[in-house]
Structure 1
């Protein structure tokens, strides 16, 4: 039992058998090359798709960030346009002498001759 038994069957060593064994060996090598080629192509496709997905997510987040910035800038533009409109109206009013006199009375407590100013406390 300790020694392995030899097979009593011998292979036929004819040219046909040798040719068939060579063909099977070639098929096995071709199959192995196909598997290697397929695995290389699959790995490259996986790497390319991973790179594509990474790029897409990075660009998507950059676009979202830029959209938020755009919204903030549009809001700032609206407020600045409102301020501009208010200041233009103020300029028009400042060209009127009566408005200037009224403004001087309110802010600087100036009065006409003989006029008395009473200050009431704000609530």
Structure 2
């Protein structure tokens, strides 16, 4: 039995040394895994935050482009309206200038109200249906 006791004592000593070493290595591996898990979590959170910021910036850019396009369309419409208004203004200014001329007023009165100058006879001619269709 002496030998059995010695071997069991040696096994206890060896297993205790082994178990302490193994425990320390296990603890070291657990710390490394925990560090990796924390690193992956931080990277994941950072990635999500970066995606949110990029998404917000893209959304803002898209809205800005849409607003710019809408304003450009409105500008084109306003410019067309301005051109039409300026054309009407020129026509009205020309008509005002004509209305300041007595001869033009006389022609207008004779044409629209069938007034006549002295020694002038007014004849009205029947209108042709073909002329009416082309005027429309």
Q: TM-score range by the shorter chain?
A: 0.7 to 0.9
Pick the aligned partner of 2:73 from 61, 64, 68: 68
Structure 2 match to 1:39:
44
Q: Does 1:102 align with 2:107?
A: yes
Pick the aligned partner of 2:24 from 15, 19, 23: 19
Structure 2 match to 1:30:
35
Structure 1 match to 2:118:
113
Gaps of 5+ in 1: 1-9
| More divergent stretch after superposition (112-121 vs 62-71) | 112-121
Paired residues in the alignment total 113
User: Higher Cα Rg: structure 1 or 2?
Assistant: 2
Work out the CA distance in 2 between the residues paired with 1:23 and 1:106: 111
Superposition deviation, residue 89 in structure 1: 1.1
C-alpha RMSD of matched pairs (Å): 1.7
Work out the CA distance in 2 between the residues paired with 1:113 and 1:66: 61
Secondary structure, aligned partner of 1:13 = helix
Q: Which runs of 4+ in 1 moved over 3 A?
A: none
